[in-house]
Amino acid sequence: MTTLSLTINGRLYGPIDVRAELTMNDFLREVLGLTGTKFGCGAAQCLSCAVIVDGDDGTSHTKPTCVIPALSFNGKKIRTIEGHAINGELTALQKGFIEHFAFQCGYCTPGFLNEGQVFLERLERKPISRADLEKAIVEALDGHLCRCTGYVKYHQAVRDVILADPGRYLT
């Protein structure tokens, strides 16, 4: 057993004793009961399990949790789907997903939401041109698998959130 401490959605967890081989996905779902993060394949192929890792340098990226030991998140700050809305106020991307009917069964939604949010934040730091937008969305979301939707409405939702506030995301 080794102790694990980390910040999830702004709240400090730990120190908690965990086994070295316990995956982050099981830590979230079985230990903490945070089941918003899903388990899809256990092979880092579908990314329904991806969470946001916030770096100290102000950048963020997503990381699958199903094959990665919980201990590798020691000291990290992460965000999960449960942490996007603040005081019940949905983010622009959450609203966008809902208004676009982006998801169907919704099981892949946590991964898409996290990836989309990281993408938006990246554009805020480093805007891109309108002409490059669709291609950039495909590249950002492409690792995430969805079996219901054909992806179209996810992409449209992300695009429309950006186009609704072009000064923030586009050059």
Partner 1 sequence: MRPSRRELMKWVTASGITLGISRLSLADTLGFLVHETLPGRGVSRPASGRVDGVAKATGAKLYASDFRAADLPGWPGETSHALLVRAADATHVYSGLDLERLGKLAPPSVVVTAADLERIGTRVPEFYTGDLFCPVGKTPLYLGQPVALLIFDTFDAFDRARLALREDNFLRFGAETGPVPGANYAAFRFTRVAGATPDAPDIYSPIQEGWISPGFLESSGRPIWQPLPVAKGGEYVKGATYGEDIRAALARKDPSILTLARDFETQSVDPMFLEPEAGLAWFDSASKDLKLVLGVQSPFEAGSAIAFLLGEAADAYKPSRIDAQFAYVGGGFGGRDHTPFPLYVALAAMFFPGRPVRLAHDRYQQFQGGIKRHPFKMHSEIGIDRATGKIVAFAADHVLDGGGLMNYSTSVAVVGATGATGIYDVPKVDVTTVAVHSRGVTAGSMRGYGTLQTMTALEVLVDEAAAALPLDPIEFRRRNALKVGGRTMTGNPYSVSVRTPEILDKLDRHAIWKRRAEEKARAPAGVLIGTGVACSMKDYGTGADCSLGTVSIDPEGRISIHSDAVEMGNGIGTALANRVALHLGSIADEVTVAQVDVFDALGLFTSGDAYLISQEEQDTAARDTGWVPAISSATSASIGAHVGTQAAAEAARVVFRFGLWPAALDLWGIAPNDPRSKQSDEAFWQDGYLVMSGLSPLPLKAIAAKAHARKGVTGAMAHAFSRWAWSQATFAIGDQEWTADIDALAIQLGSAAFTRLDRSAVAFPPADYNRIGTAFSSLCGTLVRVEIERATGVLRIAKAYSVLECGQVLVPEVVVGQAQGGFAMGVGYALLETLPPFEEGPGNGKWNLGQYLIARGSDLPLHDLEIEVLPPFSPKEPPKGMAEVVMIPIVPALLNAIFDATGHRFNALPVTQAMLKGVLA
The residues binding partner 1 (CB under 8 A) are: 19, 21-22, 26, 30, 33-43, 45-46, 48, 80-82, 84-85, 88, 90, 94-95, 97-101, 103-110, 113, 134, 138, 141-155
Q: How far is the CB of 56 from partner 1 (least distance, A)?
A: 25
- Convert 77-88 to b/e letters by CB count within 10 Å (16 or more is b): bbbbbebbeeee
**Pure H helices in the chain:** 24-26, 92-99, 109-125, 133-141, 152-163, 166-169
Which CB atom, from 4 or from 146, has the smaller least distance to partner 1?
146
Biggest CA–CA distance in the chain, Å, is 51
Which CB atom, from 14 or from 36, has the smaller least distance to partner 1?
36
d(CA 7, CA 9) in angstroms, rounded, equals 7
Q: How far is the CB of 18 from partner 1 (least distance, A)?
A: 10
Strands 11-18 and 2-8: antiparallel
| N- to C-terminal Cα separation, the chain | 49
Which CB atom, from 75 or from 147, has the smaller least distance to partner 1?
147
How many C-beta neighbours within 10 Å does residue 113 have? Answer: 27
Q: How far is the CB of 63 from partner 1 (least distance, A)?
A: 17
Q: How far is the CB of 127 from partner 1 (least distance, A)?
A: 21
Which CB atom, from 61 or from 135, has the smaller least distance to partner 1?
135
